[in-house]
Structure 1
Amino acid sequence: MNRLELKYGCNPNQKPAEIYMADGSDLPLQVLNGRPGYINFLDALNSAQLVKELREATGRPAAASFKHVSPTSAALGLPMSEALKKACFVDDIEGLDDSPLALAYARARGADRMCSFGDFIALSDTCDATTAQIIKREVSDGVIAPGYTPEALEILKAKRRGTYAVVALDPNYVPKEDERKEVFGITFLQGRNNVVIDKTLLDNVVTENKVIPTNAQRDLLVALITLKYTQSNSVCFAVDGQAIGVGAGQQSRIHCTRLAAQKADLWHLRQSPRVLDLPFRPDIGRADRDNTIDLYLSDEDSGDVLDDGNWQRFLTTRPQPFTRAEKREYLAGITGVSLGSDAFFPFGDSIERAHRSGVSYVVEPGGSVRDDNVIDTCNKYGMAMAFNGVRLFHH
């Protein structure tokens, strides 16, 4: 099959819509269930590249959660602490520790649960039953993977009353070197971004602190590969083998950093005892828990943040307030976070903001007329920063 008709394009008024191979060859994918849409396929094909590159760069299974052509997170299949499992709502999943792929998706989905609501999922490896069980109970549009076990496929086919989108992508597919797209009737042509992201990009450490430990090198690669498929401008915070805050599509570097840092802070705060011990009613669903946690962690500095009645509907008792000062104190103990940027930092302001969210390691292309200011700011906080010389804009 070399053409696949879609229901509509980005919006219902945009018809006709289809995906096809311009050279007449067969599509390198198969729809096993459901009817993915135009945006679904944009998410699927971008995220599939991301997890494939993570797998190749690290040797570990990887997963990504995508929304509107940018990742909410991407993660490797690494062990999870009990606190992280609880924060990601997967502490009840049987066999989780035995499935690296399930661990990867649990991390990717749990990093930014608000933005992952209704995501499209990419998996680097054949989807197993444990991973499918996590996917089944989350609000999601679809999944793309190189394959599915029979049990996993049956689980996914039953989701959304049988309409859930399940796509298999040929793992051996290699696209052409040139890529094209049309805007306003004009065709754009460029070479594919085939830059290989590996540890050699971290060799040029320009700060006084020259030490980037192995785990931080891994996290910097996670950040860079995530950025390669994130709408620019973009900045990514990563730790423990996963992206914990992605700032995408902003016009200024500092706004990217602030957005990503806020998400990273929430990821840390969700694992605090104050949040993990919130007394939720047992019948409350995950989406309502997420909304309540978001309210609880809002910037209000009083105990009135849940006075609109949410605490009475979702919690058995009213919680103690988590004040701004208490949150700052908790976050002040965070260190070892990695930060990647798809282009150079023009000022030291992004480093200042990153420091407040526990960043110890930075990678960026370099090349700003104010590189010295950025380096000095890193030195001020003892950070190690590498210039990789590679811009990763994606549009």
Structure 2
Amino acid sequence: MADPKIRRALLSVSDKTGLLAFAKSLAERGIEIVSTGGTASALKAAGLNVIDVSELTGFPEMMDGRVKTLHPRVHGGLLGIRGNAEHEKSARDHGILPIDLLVVNLYPFEATVAKGASYEDCVENIDVGGPAMIRAAAKNHDSVAVIVETEDYARLLTELSENDGATSLAFRKALAAKAFARSAAYDAAISNWFAGVLETPAPEWRAFGGKLAQSLRYGENAHQSAALYISDRGRAGVATSRQLQGKELSYNNINDTDAAFELVSEFDANVPAVAIIKHSNPCGVAIGGSIVDAYLKALASDSVSAFGGIVALNQAIDKSAAEEITKIFTEVVIAPDATDEAKAIFAAKKNLRLLLTGGLAESRAAGLLVKSVAGGFLVQTRDNKNSDDLDLQVVTKRAPSPSELSDLKFAFKVAKHVKSNAIVYAKGGATVGVGAGQMSRVDSARIAAWKAAEAAKAQGLDAPLTIGSVVASDAFFPFADGLITAADAGVTAVIQPGGSMRDDEVIKAADERGLAMVFTGVRHFRH
């Protein structure tokens, strides 16, 4: 069968972007336009000849527009198989006209939820007729073309120009695939919203959807394929950032940049904070009196590992910070904003990627994390506990001093973003040693102390940076050996969740060494 020409189109859109120009192009090709509600009004106001859907169905739009396209003359026109004698007879008998093109973009449910609208407004923005029509048209893609995004208007017009007013089957198949995926992602957003409203942590069925943001050259390794999808436009981050310069981001770049930005977003936006990440683990994190001060303190923690790393900042990048960052090779820099002077400095480094997010990723926000496993996937809520909000319990004879307490909270924020088993030494609002991802917690403590000693050598210091520092552990010390290792490295205070069967043994070891120790009651495993 020859490719079908488009003679009749049904337009019903929430997003009116590009609508008038697109509809005029259809009309110029002699295509009859049927439309609904506000779409029809907009087209008529522009002088286009439009048939109201109520004329097509013989029923008025009713119930505040909830019922307008849910009618056999609409769905019959979309679903009827061309060339099928029985279908065509039914169409003639019931006055059903074929619809060759459906253009629908759905009520903005996701955007309504993202702006914090009321329950009633969110429900009112659940589209019913739109998804029903989309699925009908997509199922009958052998004859019907379906458009669900404004960016496909130009593609359709080009297709019509190249095919004498018709569309190819390959084109319609591609549109149908996108239509089903859009409908699925829309329903996933609704079902997940309902699960959140009902406070149902494990609904019987769980679905996720997202919009393609970027096809990637490969995944973690060259033999793996990968892509980045956007699922939450309401939360600032790497997925929704603007890339101002530099080559295309890789899978590993995105993964590491996300880890860096999530970490700096833990800190108050009024306190300059910088995180330098390598392989999704922080090699240096600091707060300071200025962004450049915080960067230099973070760099000093491990200047060797920082080479070729990711730098995240929680404030706008200024000229002095940009000058320091560009002194060594850096893969990606991500921040809420950057001054024009900073942008000019980065522009001289053509391979450096600069990402601007417009804000921080709210660390206390609720959300879901998903990880695939063989035959399924794991889902958990985001770890949104912040050490500033925790009720810390002093368990040793000595309580931490104000400066120690400040560093303890800082170190625990960082430990939350270090692969477990995690040990973080910190002093003066900066990491001085990080131990990550070891099978033994005591090994993490030893590695972090060794890193601190190496950093001291690099700075020409005689004593390790751990002297006078504090230490954070993401989970409890199962034995006293990890704490003793930290004490031997020179720490004066400890923060850990507590909860071990040997807590008394660990507390005793801390008291014997004059350490202050606090329990958080919250752990931060990160696997």
Q: Which has the larger radius of gyration?
A: 2
Deviations 1:129-184 (A, max 9, x none): 1111111111211111001111111211211xx12111112316557611213244
Deviations 1:356-388 (A, max 9, x none): 221000000111111111111111110000011
- Bigger RCO of structures 1 and 2 (CA < 8 A, at least 6 apart): 1
- Residue of structure 2 in register with 1:285 after alignment: none
Measured after TM superposition, the shift of residue 23 of structure 1 is 6.8
Please give the secondary structure, in 2, of the residue aligned with 1:147.
coil
- Residue of structure 1 in register with 2:216 after alignment: 6
- Equivalence map 1:130-279=2 (5 Å): 130-159=320-349, 162-171=350-359, 177-184=367-374, 186-198=376-388, 200-202=390-392, 204-210=393-399, 212-271=400-459, 275=460
Contact 1:2 1:25 in 2 (8 A): no
Please give the secondary structure, in 1, of the residue aligned with 2:394.
coil
Distance 1:178 1:334, change over 3 A: closer
1:371 alignment partner, one of 488, 499, 503: 503
Measured after TM superposition, the shift of residue 24 of structure 1 is 8.8
Q: Which amino acid aligns with 1:391?
A: R
Contact 1:108 1:243 in 2 (8 A): yes
Are 1:105 and 2:295 counterparts?
A: yes
1:46 alignment partner, one of 259, 272, 275: 259
Q: Which amino acid aligns with 1:21?
A: I
Contact 1:101 1:123 in 2 (8 A): yes
Identical columns (%): 35
- Residue of structure 1 in register with 2:250 after alignment: 37
Contact 2:286 2:294 in 1 (8 A): yes
Deviations 1:273-328 (A, max 9, x none): xx36xxxxxxxxxxxxxxxxxxxxxxxxxxxxxxxxxxxxxxxxxxxxxxxxxx6x
Total equivalences in the alignment: 311
Distance in 2, matches of 1:149 and 1:23, equals 27
TM-score, scaled to structure 2: 0.56
Please give the secondary structure, in 2, of the residue aligned with 1:258.
helix
- Residue of structure 2 in register with 1:349 after alignment: 481
Distance 1:336 1:134, change over 3 A: same
Measured after TM superposition, the shift of residue 43 of structure 1 is 1.3
Please give the secondary structure, in 1, of the residue aligned with 2:265.
helix
Distance in 2, matches of 1:368 and 1:192, equals 24
Higher mean Cα deviation, 20-29 or 213-222?
A: 20-29
Measured after TM superposition, the shift of residue 7 of structure 1 is 2.0
Measured after TM superposition, the shift of residue 52 of structure 1 is 1.6
Distance 1:76 1:217, change over 3 A: same
Q: Which amino acid aligns with 1:13?
A: H
Distance 1:5 1:176, change over 3 A: farther
Distance 1:67 1:354, change over 3 A: same
1:74 alignment partner, one of 262, 266, 285: 285
Distance in 1, matches of 2:447 and 2:408, equals 18
- Residue of structure 1 in register with 2:240 after alignment: 28
Contact 1:77 1:103 in 2 (8 A): yes
Please give the secondary structure, in 1, of the residue aligned with 2:478.
coil
Q: Which amino acid aligns with 1:75?
A: A
CA RMSD of aligned residues (A): 2.2
Distance in 1, matches of 2:359 and 2:432, equals 27
Distance 1:380 1:23, change over 3 A: closer
Measured after TM superposition, the shift of residue 221 of structure 1 is 1.5
Distance in 1, matches of 2:266 and 2:352, equals 26
Please give the secondary structure, in 1, of the residue aligned with 2:268.
helix
Distance 1:25 1:208, change over 3 A: closer
Distance in 2, matches of 1:230 and 1:334, equals 18
Question: What are structure 1's unaligned runs of at least 5 residues?
Answer: 79-99, 277-326
- Residue of structure 2 in register with 1:290 after alignment: none
Distance in 2, matches of 1:390 and 1:24, equals 29
Please give the secondary structure, in 1, of the residue aligned with 2:219.
coil
Distance in 2, matches of 1:130 and 1:263, equals 28
Q: Which amino acid aligns with 1:206?
A: V
- Residue of structure 2 in register with 1:308 after alignment: none
Are 1:18 and 2:227 counterparts?
A: yes
Please give the secondary structure, in 1, of the residue aligned with 2:370.
strand
Measured after TM superposition, the shift of residue 353 of structure 1 is 1.2
Measured after TM superposition, the shift of residue 186 of structure 1 is 2.7
Measured after TM superposition, the shift of residue 127 of structure 1 is 0.7
Contact 1:206 1:387 in 2 (8 A): yes
Measured after TM superposition, the shift of residue 267 of structure 1 is 2.9
- Equivalence map 1:296-375=2 (5 Å): 330-331=463-464, 335-375=467-507
Contact 2:420 2:436 in 1 (8 A): yes
Please give the secondary structure, in 2, of the residue aligned with 1:53.
coil
Distance 1:185 1:163, change over 3 A: farther
Distance in 1, matches of 2:484 and 2:517, equals 14
